[in-house]
Amino acid sequence: MTRTVPVAQYLFRRLHELNCKSIHGVPGDFFLRALDHVRPAGLNWIGNANELCAGYAADGYARAGHHVAARRSGTGPKVGALFTTYGVGELSAINAVAGSYAESISVVHLIGTPSRKAWRTASAARPLHHTLGDGRMGVYAEMAKQITCAQTKFHEHDRVAEAVQAYDETLRECVLRSKPVYVSVPVDMMEVRVSAELLERPLQISAPSNKHDTEDQLVQSIAERIRKARQPLLVVDGLSYPYDFLTEVNALANMIPTACFGSAMGAVDGSARYWMGTLSGPTEYSSSTDLVLLAGPMLSDTNTAAWTAIPPTESRILFNLDSVEMEGQVHPVQGKVVLQKLVRELSSNAPKPILMSEKKTTTAQYTSASNAADRITQDVFWSTMSSYLKPNDTILLANGTPLIGGRDMTFPSPTQVVASSIWCSIGQMLPAAQGISLAKRDSGLPGRTILFEGDGSFQVTCQALSDIIRYRLDVTIFIVNNGGYTYERWLNGMEAEYNDVPSWRYAKAASFFRAEDHQDDYPVLEKTVRTMGDLQDLLAQDGIHAGKGLKLVDVVMDAEDVPGRAKAGLRKASEALRAQP
């Protein structure tokens, strides 16, 4: 007799095959029975406070798989996953899914929908709940089509075997294209049985191989250009994380001058021979380079200081996921494979040594406050916190002043830095930290999860803190409490009320979510620091350095304070905003 499994269990077992051991979401009537199959499939259900938090957490879960330790062990998740209900649930998550699409993160979005009969008989005369009332059942899938790379809708398949095979192909696209996907399953199909033999065929997620002769010719051409260049420069960008370029760019950083944009902070070992640091604007070297190699490029305005940090030379080579661009031509090859061969080629026939007089630009150099009574400032805080970091940490920088201030930090190797490069949605990083910490626990990955959060961002998704506490996840949070939207103040309305946020007792937030109930086996630290003496006393405690449990630190700063190196750029951005008609 042929062995069978319910469709719901098939969905979850395939996720487990991709090292995704937890699925986020909020229960909904169209997929409640499917959740009975989560644990039998070897997964954990992570019930979030809302679907937006679930989406950000799934994004974070997938990003944990980009850590060097995860790549080396092979145990890290290849995807993150969330399950929401039709209409109201999926639309609550759509902001997070769009961010995953923009920043190339592999997320599987499962949606429980009305029954197959409802799809056939839908009409405006008898509207179903969670619809728009006009009979258009497919309108949400059309929205999702704009922000996912592949879609599978089970109700469109006559045979369940065809539907699950389409699901397998959708998962393959999710991994290979490093983008989110959309999978909708009607409520009456969740427990329809399908042959278990299909699960015995592993998912085919290996990237298609390049033509070796094409690769070799391309590598030789690139290597020759590097050797002839007077001032070559490798710029590592944020997509090097999801594209798995880290091994290759770190090897190249010992061969040619190398820098990064903000979203790739932490990607390159700071002790590399030719490491130049983070580009926060033009430098003497980058401005005069005659060849730039861009690895995992995402050349957004926020990532490149309004494009001023992009080297001006027209001689560029771009290494993308599945192509290499050079001299106006797009070569359809796997970028990682070309980089691997380029490393081997340059190792055997290295370019001439390059003398660089320019200092590394990873951090701004500030003198520490000598008076313990001095208020904490942005300039001193970020450089001070560099000494707090350890190898294997994952550091999240919230959108706003933490994203700017993080450029003044020094990151030990290896570390992973999660910094939004284009989507820049406030509220993202707290639930993302929940997802990252969970993935580290699920996969046995080393290192702490450390979030530098903004007060405005925290207020958007503060419910994620209750998710962290509920599942006893290990997260350290420093909230930059400057009374509102400081980044926006510098753009327009320095003292305007619309840039203020309500004043919260942030150091009491963990207690509000009943964190003290778990103190015996889940240590909780809550602290407010206002002066350098407060901060130094805190950093002198052993407990703040341990990764176990929850640490929540309210760091009070002035409302108008931003890192010194950012002020000129913010003034220019403000002038540009005012100049718009």
Q: Binding site: which residues?
A: 455, 482, 484
* Start-to-end Cα distance in the chain: 73
Tokens 């409520």 — which residue?
Answer: 187
Query: Nearest to residue 84, comparing CAs of 117, 115, 119, 58?
Result: 58
* Ramachandran region, residue 87 (left: φ > 0; alpha: ψ -120 to 50; beta: rest): left
Indicate if the alpha-carbon torsion angle 552, 556, 561, 564 is positive or negative: negative
Q: Are 526 and 508 in contact (CB under 8 A)?
A: yes
Collapse the DSSP code of 62 into the 3-class scheme (helix H, G, I; strand E, B; otherwise coil) and give the result: helix
Q: What is the DSSP letter of 500?
A: B
> Which amino acid, one-letter code, is at 282?
P
Collapse the DSSP code of 84 into the 3-class scheme (helix H, G, I; strand E, B; otherwise coil) and give the result: strand
Question: Can you read off the two tokens belonging to residue 74?
Answer: 């092979």
Instruction: Give, in order, the Cα–Cα distances in Å from 339 to each of 209, 310, 336.
Output: 14, 21, 5
Angstrom distance (rounded) from CA 59 to CA 379: 30
> Vertex 298, ends 493 and 328: CA angle to 5°?
130
Q: Is 514 exposed, middle or buried (0-12, 13-18, 19+ CB in 10 A)?
A: exposed
Binding-site annotation, residues for Mg(2+):
455, 482, 484
User: 275 pairs with which residues across the strands?
Assistant: 258
Collapse the DSSP code of 276 into the 3-class scheme (helix H, G, I; strand E, B; otherwise coil) and give the result: strand
Collapse the DSSP code of 153 into the 3-class scheme (helix H, G, I; strand E, B; otherwise coil) and give the result: strand
Angstrom distance (rounded) from CA 65 to CA 56: 15
